[in-house]
Amino acid sequence: MAENSAVYAIRFPDGSVTLYIDEEYAIDRGVDPAKLVRVEIPRELFASGSIQEIREYVAVYLENSHQGTA
């Protein structure tokens, strides 16, 4: 796994969020790279948080930054 604490995300109009560990993986899954948003996750959350906690962090980040609508 990469040494950074970032994920790539896409947020859909219904508010749901899909996370990808890297851009290449997202592209392999058919995601348009122009719709991906790179989100830095706090190190502690990245290391010990649950996937749900990370998903919620990303959703709030995208909502607050007014990005991520597909």
| Predicted local distance difference test score (pLDDT) of residue 4 | 66
Q: Give the model confidence (pLDDT) of 13-42 as tens digits.
A: 888 899 999 999 999 999 999 999 999 999
Domain segments of the chain as ranges:
6-64
| Predicted local distance difference test score (pLDDT) of residue 12 | 87
- Output the average pLDDT for the chain: 88
Higher pLDDT, 47 or 67: 47
The two tokens of residue 23 are: 């851009």
On whether the CB atoms of residues 37 and 57 are closer than 8 A, the answer is: no
What pTM did the predictor assign?
A: 0.79
Q: Say which residue the tokens 């996370």 belong to.
A: 19
User: What CA–CA distance (Å, rounded) separates 45 from 60?
Assistant: 14
